[in-house]
Structure 1
């Protein structure tokens, strides 16, 4: 896969408000209790040109989001302390965080699971194992709908 350099794209793109983009990669908070999955997600997001912060549980993810609000959150639903649904609810209750798009990436693949996850406040859903191209499309869509106007 050949992904153009985000910084170059950001420098040459303009924001919705007409301002010039700053020299900054989008920050993505990846949450997964499986260390191998988290490492894989971190590497994939890096390939996409994102800065990635990882968390292995819900409380750490919430603390990370409060300390440094990300541009996007990719979230496993099955976590050891609070589950992803509860984490989404807590994020959406925080006025500083509620606008952050959250994408669920989970092994829960039933239709009712998907519906429950989206109703909780996730903007998108991808079941594991996922196709990297599908992940790329989802990430690009949700970052481009915010302040980043970029293409991978």
Structure 2
């Protein structure tokens, strides 16, 4: 029935669909992606099943995009995985610096931005002001985030134009509420 050469691992499926293997496993558990189980208990996916998924609503719904501006790769990866699991229909892009964020945000025109405050080149305060001064991006919701929880940082970023402030590390439930309050589903 199943030719072993045509079966894909979660990592291979993730690479094909530009999502993490954790997201692929979640889709399998949730019933969105059919799989077989090997005698060793591992999930494997038929290429035809992966193609069926990409021809369906998943790709067609990628109308909303979230940009994460975060220089900490581990935290950025965690946020990407959270968003991919909660909102597989959204596109997610990561800018690893304030400088990179400027051009990315202008080109993508995202539905929501998660913005780290402390970055080595241009800090989140300056990026936030830049976004608000740009006619095409001035209304984009910005959720600032930082491990610095002092009230003065929160007040300063809100004054710079952010819509909300979250303390890192961000919990899944907090992330979900934040996304739904600004762009829904």
Q: TM-score, normalised by structure 2?
A: 0.65
Contact 2:75–2:169 (8 Å) recurs in 1: no
Equivalent residue runs for 1:107-146 within 5 Å: 107-144=147-184
Report the alpha carbon displacement of residue 107 of structure 1 after superposing the two structures with TM.
Answer: 0.8
Give me the whole-angstrom Cα distance separating, in 1, the residues matched to 2:183 and 2:149.
24
Partner in structure 1 of residue 8 of structure 2: none
Alignment partner, residue 126 of structure 2? 86
Structure 1 alignment gaps of length 5 or more: 6-10, 12-21, 145-149
Unmatched segments (≥5 aa) in structure 2:
1-25, 33-56
Shift of 1:25: 4.2
Choose 125-134 or 65-74, whichever is displaced more: 125-134
Number of paired residues?
Answer: 129
Structure number with greater Rg is: 2
**Quick one: distance in 1 between partners of 2:170 and 2:127?**
22
Structure ranking higher in helix proportion: 2
The aligned residue for residue 44 of structure 1 is 82
Which position in structure 2 is the counterpart of 1:34?
72
Higher RCO (CA < 8 A, seq sep 6+): 1
Q: TM-score of the superposition, structure 1-length normalised?
A: 0.78
| 1:105 matched to 2:145 | yes
User: Structure 1: which 4+ aligned runs deviate by more than 6 Å?
Assistant: none
Question: How big is the alpha-carbon RMSD for the aligned residues of Structure 1 and Structure 2?
Answer: 2.0
**Counterpart selection for 1:75 from 108, 111, 115:** 115
